[in-house]
Structure 1
Amino acid sequence: MSAFFHICFSVLLLLSSPLLVKSLSPSLNDDILGLIVFRADLQDPEGKLNSWNEEDDSPCNNWVGVKCNPRSNRVSELILEGFGLSGKLGRGLLQLQFLQKLSLARNNLTGSLSLSFTQLSNLRVVDLSENGLTGSIPSDLFSQCGSLRSISLAKNKFSGPIPESLGSCPTLASVNFSSNQFSGELPVGLWSLSGVRSLDLSDNLLEGEIPKGIEGLSNLRAISLRNNKFIGEVPDGIGNCLLLRSIDLSRNSLSGKLLSTMKKLSLCNNLILSKNGFIDEVPEWIGEMRSLETLDLSENNFSGQVPESFGKLQSLKILNVSKNALTGSLPEGISKCVNLLALDISHNSFTGNLPSWVFSLGLEQVWFSDNQLSGSVDNAFGSSMENSRKKLVTLDVSQNKLSGEIPSGVGDFVSLKFLNLSRNLFLGSIPGSIGQLKTLNVLDLSDNHLNGSFPSEIGGAISLHELNLEKNSLEGNIPLSISNCASLMSLSLAHNEITGSIPTSLSKLTYLQTIDFSFNKLTGSLPKQLANLVHLQSFNVSNNQLQGELPAGGFFNTIAPSSLSGNPSLCGAIVDRNCPTVLPKPIVLNPNSTDDTAQGTIPQSFGRGKKILSISALIAIGAAAAIVIGVIAITVLNLRVRGSTSRDAIALTFSGGDDFSQSPSTDGNSGKLVMFSGDPDFSTGTHALLNKDCELGRGGFGAVYRTMLKDGRSVAIKKLTVSSLVKSQHEFEREVKKLGKIRHPNLVSLDGYYWTQSLQLLIYEFISGGNLYKHLHEDSGENHLSWNERFNIILGAAKGLSHLHQMNLVHYNLKSSNILIDSSGEPKVADYGLARLLPMLDRYVLSSKIQSALGYMAPEFACKTIKITEKSDIYGFGVLVLEIVTGKRPVEYMEDDVVVLCDMVREALDEGRVDECVDGRLQGKFPVEEAIPVMKLGLICTSQVPSKRPDMGEVVNILELIRSPLESQDELGDF
């Protein structure tokens, strides 16, 4: 143990000053001290350094990642690549005076590079790539770099300029500072590093011109300045770096012409100049760079024709001249580039036919899209040799003027994964040989003049992910064999003449995300099994001849009505068209029957020649009658108690607080007043307790009045107008006391109650800011709610409702008039839990009494077999969200139309018309990145099937996630 304490004491000395270690006992190994101190600054979650034992005499035997010089028995290499280490680079490394190679790549190290490696005079290789190191590089880091030959700081987060001292490292052969945030201009001294063979400064923020004098890098083999902000011309001195094999200057703002001095680079394999601003014609001298394997001149401003000299590039494998202004035909000489694997001439203005040699070279990738190529492709396809056909993986000749039929020989390209012949003039039928392409992932034949049937052989292309045949003149049915394409994710047959029904087998394609069958002649009903496609995101069957009921569940709960339009016989809630009632047995109406007792007949007393009502009409009339009878019954019951209620109200008005008793008496003349806290006495001022002038509003349960307590505090009193339906006093008080215990910042608190047999009052805290309905629909001018205020109201209401659901309370009556706004703008949910004060009611009566505001009622209220749960509140909340964002009522009656808010928003979002959804009074002063997800959340909450709606706890979490990014973005300002 004494040795262990000796080490610990030495470590402390080392941390304070490395020089003091020299005074320690020579028996103590400096390398062990250094490594132990180095490990102390690290976290090792995977235990990779467990073998580092400070009790060992030497780290050279079994310490993982440590290598030693066998002669000196001192640490020469520390290689900890991919160990999952985190922490910072500690000073312990400076004790490893014989260290030659340090590699800590692919870890999670953080902090700045504060160590001065100049103290390690033997260090030759430093690799700190792929970590999280930050900050700027100290200006003197490389002032005395000794024998350093290779340094890599790639893929970190370093910033600031590249230090000028880097030019003081004459032995450097490899410099890699790529994928950081270095900025500023290149240090001129960099070009004095005559020993550098590889220089990679790509993917940074470096700017200015590339300094002249690059010829000083006489040993340079590879240079990459890709993806920076360099401007100006390429310095002509680059042609004197005769050993260069790879040049990547892409993704900058370089300009001017390519200098002919570059033709001297006869050893160059890769010349990548894409995404710059180079001009003029492509130089003929490029053909002199005989060693080129990759030539990328794409996305520049080159014009003219491709030089015939390109045929001399016998080693060329990749040629990319896409996205320029090139014209003419491809030179025949390119057919001599026998090693060519990828050819991209897309997005130019090339003319002529598709060259016949393209498919005989054995190319793997061919991109010819967006040119002016014309004529038939028969010769090109027919010229390909068998071996060449097996190599082609990608063929894109889209957006040209190619014509004629698609040759059946396309099926011979058995390795094809991507085939795009779209936006041409192809005609005739789709060859069945397409089914031979077993590896094909994408097939796009859209926007041509193809006709004939949709070939059943398509089922042979079992690897298809995307199939696009839209905008043709295809006929016939959708083949059942399409179900064999089990990996299909996108299927578009829009704008054709396809007939028949949608096959049920389509539901077997479980990965489908997008289906577009619009503008065809499809008939029949939509298979119910389509609701099982769990990944479906878009389903468009508009403008067909489909009929029947929509599938229920899944994606179809939130489908946009526009995706179903133009099918007048489709029915269901989404298309706002009732489906005919289906009864177990048909009812036969026989007006000629004389047997009044016969089953299913109508007596003669109905009379001949009169119009007989349909069964669905009779059912509808019966349901309507039931609702009317229920409403009348409640009204009559209320009228019976109105007289006694009025008398109690008058007594309250003039007797003041003294007549209220807290005794358990149920005598109608005395009543029972209970306050959960505070003074129970009311003020006896000029405003009576239930004075008509103090009425705040009326709802489904009763009228609300404002009055004051003796302490000057205002309260709101709700006089229940459903007195005859209220439970017994015992049950009433039990439920009210439960409500009185609920406290939440976003819920209106119940402070007390008053009870007699004929009058019941609920006493609430008074909220001064009015209700949300008035703020949304009655305020005008500058008083409208801002986006922040609207979002806070949505979030606050969600939190309040979530708390109710945690207490197992269903609100039943959520709407904008039941959201009150206090003086600080905080929303408070009101009128919750009142349904619990009533005995069980028929849900039609409950709907008419409680869900009085049209548009908020969940669809399950219309179905007796579905239980009313918290999910019904969530539907109303979803409508409320859309009302707050749009400023529109849930249902609005136009001159000759009825607009349902959910449908309007769903359709507008589906078509990308976001600005039309958000309240116009905001005039664009809202963050789109918040508005869109909030509206989508509202639509999810209004799903037709209750189980598809989220819980309120989940809603709160989603809203907080939507809002959290905004808090760190000052530039968005105050919305």
Structure 2
Amino acid sequence: MRKVVSVCLILLFAHLIIIVNSLNPTLDDDVLGLIVFKADLQDPDGKLGSWNEEDDSPCKWEGVRCNPRSNRVSALVLDGFGLSGKMGRGLMQLKFLSKLSLAKNNLTGSIGVNIAQLSNLRIIDLSDNSFSGRIPDNFFEQCGNLRSISLANNRFSGQIPDSLVSCSSLGVLNFSSNQFSGLLPSGIWSLHGLRSLDVSDNLLEGGIPKEVEGLNNLREINMRKNQFTGPVPDEFGACALLRSVDLSENSFSGSLPSTLQTLSLCTDLNFHSNLFTGEITEWIGELGSLQNIDLSKNMFSGAVPNGIGNIQPLRILNISNNGFSGSLPASMINCKNIQILDVSWNSLTGFLPTWVFRLGMQEVLFSGNKLTGSINGAVTSSIDVSHQNLQVLDVSHNELSGEIPSDIASFSSLRFLNMSRNSLMGQVPETVGKLKALKSLDLSENKLNGSIPSSIRTCSSLISLILSRNNLSGQVPVAMAKLADLEYVDLSNNKLTGTLPKPLANLIHLVTFNVSHNHLQGELPAGAFFNTISPSSVSGNPTLCGAAVNKSCPAVLPKPIVLNPNSTGSDPDSIPQTIGHKKILLSISALIAIGAAAVILIGIIFITVLNLRVRSTAARSSAAVPLSGGDFSSSHTTDTNSGKLVMFSGEPDFSTGAHALLNKDCELGRGGFGAVYRTVLGDGRSVAIKKLTVSSLVKSQEDFEREVKKLGRIHHPNLVALEGYYWTPSLQLLIYEYVSGGNLYKHLHEDEDRNRSPLSWNERFNIILGIAKSLAHLHQLNIIHYNLKSSNILIDGLGEPKIADFGLARLLPMLDRYVLSSKIQSALGYMAPEFACKTVKITEKCDVYGFGVLVLEIVTGRRPVEYMEDDVVILCDMVRGALEEGGVDECIDERLQGKFLAEEAIPVMKLGLICTSQVPSNRPDMAEVINILGLIKCPEESDNN
């Protein structure tokens, strides 16, 4: 306590000294200013340990630099120190500070300190932090000496202040990767000293005015990923010193002005993903310094200009997804430095140019055009050492013909080869096995015949093999089992025969394996993947058998040996004597078959009777599964007669209350994974028992125990603890801690029925924060909940939330979104839209969506989906509409009227809407959500909460 008081007195004294000495700065101001600045920070790595308030000078402190003549602090560079907290007023005492760099930390809050007014300050770098909010309008009013400012990669919002025009000496301006909106201040275009302007990745709008010609010192302009519109003015060409131009991912329109040819020093030109139209004429050949050109995803048309061949330094040319037509100009043979050529998805015609393979490029992409002719000639006519550089070749979706050349093996560095959707004929060459670096091979939808070459086994890096929709025949080679990294295989719609090789079961990374619509026969390989393979992946093979095709495989029996009991000879095939005009035929195989059939029949009858008894026992509400003796054993050995009980801590004690284990009178609820019951241990402690639904769950005891033990090791104050489990082949139980306060759904929607007072605003906020913390913890462990809903949020006796049912999706045999959606169909309104889209990957962001719905449910007190007489109300849509109409405060639970903080509740609802974005990438992760909630929570609590 003394130490705390002492520190507080020192800081108070320092603040007083700062105020007193503000008119008479001395060397002590630097020490005191930095100590006060440090007091507002958290320094978990101890990087500021050398900062001692008892020192006479701070010049030897870590991150501090002083002017050698005056010994005053001239630079404060704390990049990557791991600091958090806020930027305090102590910095205003550093009157001689010329450089302030706090980049790559976790500083938060708004910029409440007008550091730009420090008269000697030249450089400000606050990039890569978590600063937020608006920048004050007067922030830049006295920044005449400022040369460089970077606020990149923060969370600033609102408009960029017009006072920025006061920074007349500004040379570098970087406001990228924030949430700035509105128009750029018109004064920016009059900052004649500006050399670098980067406002990329924001929400800015408007266009580029003619005044851009005033930026005659500009070297770099980056306006990527905003909402800018309009044409590029002719005056843009007046910025003759430009080296890099990036206007990509906006809505710029019109044609590119020919005045751009004056940008003779420009090396990077990026206009992709806009609405540009018109032709690119020969003026582009005047840009003799260009190294990278990206005009992709626009609406350009006409021929590719011949002048491209004049650009000797060109390394990357991307004109994909446009309307270019004709052939590529032969002059491009002069582009000796080109490494990447992407002309895909245009309307190019003619043959595949032979010069393409003579330039030693790394990536060549011609997909989605109208190329004709033989690919064989283009490859074989240009064999030389340059082939060793090629890594990506994509000529798919064209009209190419001929055979795949055996010389394809000369592309020894090839990683991706796509020749799909052409008219290629002949066989897959054996030489494909020499492509040892190949990761993806797609030859689908051609007219290939012959067999799959066994040399494929030497393509040891192969991940994806797509040969579907050809005329391939023969067997699936056993050699494929050597491709240990294989994930995606599609051999469907061919004429393959024989059985699938059993060693394919050893391919542990398989995600898809499609052999549908062939002539395969016999039994599927037995293995983890093939045990759960989709029926559609093996359909269309009439004689294929196994569980996936719902067809049992016939037993393989030896050829019958017919014995004649009346014969004394040694010929086993001799004709027997006849008795009563009937032949008596006896065989060893027949006797074996009869005996086997009898045993099987008896076994079926026995198992059927046993199952009926088990079901009858489980159905009787009064007949519980006893835990003391009989069906349960604390032993770690499995006995199918008794089952296996494991408690993760302590010895199991079910000596009392065991009769109520599965008693319906003690049922707490039911969900997608089973029913939950309450029972009492011998020591009087209550536990919750979840009886898992057997259907579609893991059948293997080893798999079940492995996953459950992982869940048992997960501990967090806001997660329901898993205390043990019970296993038999027909019954699996999970033993959880008992949470006494009921679930969140009942607190929100059944208060009146239970005479329970409604949750206060503080209680609701704490529940939201607790859910966020537990989800963040799960996501750090790579666990997706999948089934968030208010009935799965339990409230303990202290009002703290605890998430239940986490990790249970791991007990499913495969994490298929349709299987999951059937298991958690009760979570209507909480499920992210990507569950309905087969091509979108399911990630932690689906939990973020469910969390957002929960937030809105908690604040509004309304269900995610409500059915009216003639309408259905979707909570997310209702709140979003109210926000757009300015009435979002009317959505707050009426039971909180006058008892909530609007400055907290409304931002929380906005956060919920952000979390329910239709696009997964637009949703924050849970760590960001926790930070945002921390910013929303007011430091002072109102008395009426």
Cα pair distance change 1:581/1:458, threshold 3 Å = closer
Question: What letter matches 1:619 in structure 2?
Answer: V
Structure 2 match to 1:42: 41
SS in 2 for 1:302: strand
Q: Is this contact kept in 1: 2:440–2:465, CA < 8 A?
A: yes
Q: Is this contact kept in 2: 1:408–1:433, CA < 8 A?
A: yes
2:832 aligned residue (908, 923, 929): 929
Q: TM-score when scaled to structure 1?
A: 0.64
Q: Is this contact kept in 1: 2:832–2:846, CA < 8 A?
A: no
Structure 1 match to 2:20: 20
Write the mapping of 1:208-287 to structure 2, written as runs, cut at 5 A.
Answer: 208-287=206-285
What's the CA shift for 1:358? 0.9
Structure 2 match to 1:404: 402
1:148 aligned residue (146, 149, 164): 146
What's the CA shift for 1:299? 0.7
Question: What letter matches 1:304 in structure 2?
Answer: G
What's the CA shift for 1:7? 9.2
1:872 aligned residue (724, 730, 754): 730
What's the CA shift for 1:166? 0.7
Measured in 2, the distance between the counterparts of 1:280 and 1:31 equals: 60
Measured in 1, the distance between the counterparts of 2:832 and 2:235 equals: 49
Q: Is this contact kept in 1: 2:224–2:247, CA < 8 A?
A: yes
Q: Is this contact kept in 1: 2:243–2:266, CA < 8 A?
A: yes
Q: Over residues 546-595 of structure 1, what are the superposed CA-to-partner deviations in whole Å (9 max), with x where a residue is unaligned? A: xxxxxxxx345544344444556665555555566899x9999989699x
What's the CA shift for 1:480? 3.7
What's the CA shift for 1:118? 3.3
Structure 1 match to 2:79: 81
What's the CA shift for 1:521? 3.0
Question: What letter matches 2:228 in structure 1?
Answer: F
What's the CA shift for 1:109? 1.0
Q: Is this contact kept in 1: 2:468–2:493, CA < 8 A?
A: yes
Structure 1 match to 2:904: none
1:560 aligned residue (528, 534, 540): 534
Structure 1 match to 2:602: 622
1:429 aligned residue (427, 430, 441): 427
Q: Is this contact kept in 2: 1:857–1:872, CA < 8 A?
A: no
Aligned-residue identity in percent: 46
SS in 2 for 1:374: coil
Structure 2 match to 1:501: 499
Structure 2 match to 1:159: 157
Q: TM-score when scaled to structure 2?
A: 0.66
Measured in 2, the distance between the counterparts of 1:331 and 1:856 equals: 60
Structure 1 match to 2:671: 794
Question: What letter matches 2:41 in structure 1?
Answer: L
Measured in 1, the distance between the counterparts of 2:134 and 2:251 equals: 25
Structure 1 match to 2:50: 51
1:738 aligned residue (656, 667, 686): 656
Structure 1 match to 2:796: none
Q: Over residues 467-512 of structure 1, what are the superposed CA-to-partner deviations in whole Å (9 max), with x where a residue is unaligned? A: 2222222233333433443333222222222333333443444433
Cα pair distance change 1:407/1:699, threshold 3 Å = closer
Question: What letter matches 1:794 in structure 2?
Answer: G
Measured in 1, the distance between the counterparts of 2:534 and 2:414 equals: 36
Q: Is this contact kept in 1: 2:522–2:545, CA < 8 A?
A: no
Measured in 1, the distance between the counterparts of 2:313 and 2:481 equals: 45
Q: Is this contact kept in 2: 1:14–1:21, CA < 8 A?
A: no
Cα pair distance change 1:174/1:589, threshold 3 Å = same
Structure 2 match to 1:104: 102
Measured in 2, the distance between the counterparts of 1:73 and 1:400 equals: 71
Q: Is this contact kept in 1: 2:505–2:529, CA < 8 A?
A: no
Measured in 2, the distance between the counterparts of 1:224 and 1:369 equals: 30
What's the CA shift for 1:804? 10
Question: What letter matches 2:184 in structure 1?
Answer: L
Structure 2 match to 1:32: 31
1:315 aligned residue (302, 306, 313): 313
Q: Which has the larger radius of gyration?
A: 1
Structure 2 match to 1:967: 854
1:332 aligns with 2:306: no
1:390 aligns with 2:388: yes
Structure 1 match to 2:932: none
What's the CA shift for 1:737? 8.8
Cα pair distance change 1:912/1:334, threshold 3 Å = farther
Measured in 2, the distance between the counterparts of 1:915 and 1:701 equals: 27
Structure 1 match to 2:166: 168
SS in 2 for 1:375: coil
Structure 2 match to 1:125: 123
Cα pair distance change 1:616/1:876, threshold 3 Å = farther
Q: Over residues 15-54 of structure 1, what are the superposed CA-to-partner deviations in whole Å (9 max), with x where a residue is unaligned? A: 468332448996x622121222111111111222222222
Structure 2 match to 1:306: 304
Measured in 2, the distance between the counterparts of 1:967 and 1:233 equals: 44
Q: Over residues 698-742 of structure 1, what are the superposed CA-to-partner deviations in whole Å (9 max), with x where a residue is unaligned? A: 9869999xxxxxxxxxxxxx799xxxxx99xxxxxxx99934785
Q: Over residues 582-611 of structure 1, what are the superposed CA-to-partner deviations in whole Å (9 max), with x where a residue is unaligned? A: 99x9999989699xxxxxxxxx99x98899
Measured in 2, the distance between the counterparts of 1:430 and 1:563 equals: 23
Question: What letter matches 1:30 in structure 2?
Answer: D
SS in 2 for 1:151: strand
Provide structure 1 residue ranges, at least 5 long, that are not aligned to the other structure.
Answer: 532-553, 595-603, 635-697, 705-717, 721-725, 728-734, 751-764, 768-791, 816-850, 862-866, 886-905, 936-956
Measured in 2, the distance between the counterparts of 1:78 and 1:629 equals: 81
Q: Over residues 764-814 of structure 1, what are the superposed CA-to-partner deviations in whole Å (9 max), with x where a residue is unaligned? A: x9x9xxxxxxxxxxxxxxxxxxxxxxxx841695443899999899998x8
Q: Over residues 312-349 of structure 1, what are the superposed CA-to-partner deviations in whole Å (9 max), with x where a residue is unaligned? A: 22222211111011111111122222222211110011
Cα pair distance change 1:17/1:615, threshold 3 Å = farther
Question: What letter matches 2:205 in structure 1?
Answer: E
Question: What letter matches 1:106 in structure 2?
Answer: K
Measured in 2, the distance between the counterparts of 1:422 and 1:617 equals: 51
Measured in 2, the distance between the counterparts of 1:154 and 1:332 equals: 43
Write the mapping of 1:688-707 to structure 2, written as runs, cut at 5 A.
Answer: none
Measured in 1, the distance between the counterparts of 2:686 and 2:543 equals: 45
Q: Over residues 843-864 of structure 1, what are the superposed CA-to-partner deviations in whole Å (9 max), with x where a residue is unaligned? A: xxxxxxxx9xxx8999899xxx
Structure 2 match to 1:136: 134
Measured in 2, the distance between the counterparts of 1:252 and 1:858 equals: 49
What's the CA shift for 1:200? 0.3
Provide structure 2 residue ranges, at least 5 long, that are not aligned to the other structure.
Answer: 568-578, 625-629, 632-652, 702-724, 736-785, 790-811, 839-843, 858-862, 867-873, 875-945
SS in 2 for 1:237: helix
Measured in 1, the distance between the counterparts of 2:250 and 2:354 equals: 36
Question: What letter matches 2:266 in structure 1?
Answer: C
Cα pair distance change 1:440/1:857, threshold 3 Å = closer
Measured in 1, the distance between the counterparts of 2:486 and 2:399 equals: 29
Q: Over residues 637-664 of structure 1, what are the superposed CA-to-partner deviations in whole Å (9 max), with x where a residue is unaligned? A: xxxxxxxxxxxxxxxxxxxxxxxxxxxx
Measured in 1, the distance between the counterparts of 2:700 and 2:391 equals: 53
Write the mapping of 1:303-382 to structure 2, written as runs, cut at 5 A.
Answer: 303-382=301-380
Measured in 1, the distance between the counterparts of 2:168 and 2:155 equals: 26
Cα pair distance change 1:176/1:401, threshold 3 Å = same
Q: Is this contact kept in 2: 1:15–1:91, CA < 8 A?
A: no
What's the CA shift for 1:618? 2.6
SS in 2 for 1:279: strand
RMSD value, Cα: 4.8
SS in 2 for 1:738: coil
What's the CA shift for 1:909? 10
Measured in 2, the distance between the counterparts of 1:702 and 1:458 equals: 55
Q: Over residues 401-453 of structure 1, what are the superposed CA-to-partner deviations in whole Å (9 max), with x where a residue is unaligned? A: 11111112211122222211111111112222222222222221121111222
Write the mapping of 1:441-590 to structure 2, written as runs, cut at 5 A.
Answer: 441-528=439-526, 531=527, 554-566=528-540, 575-577=549-551
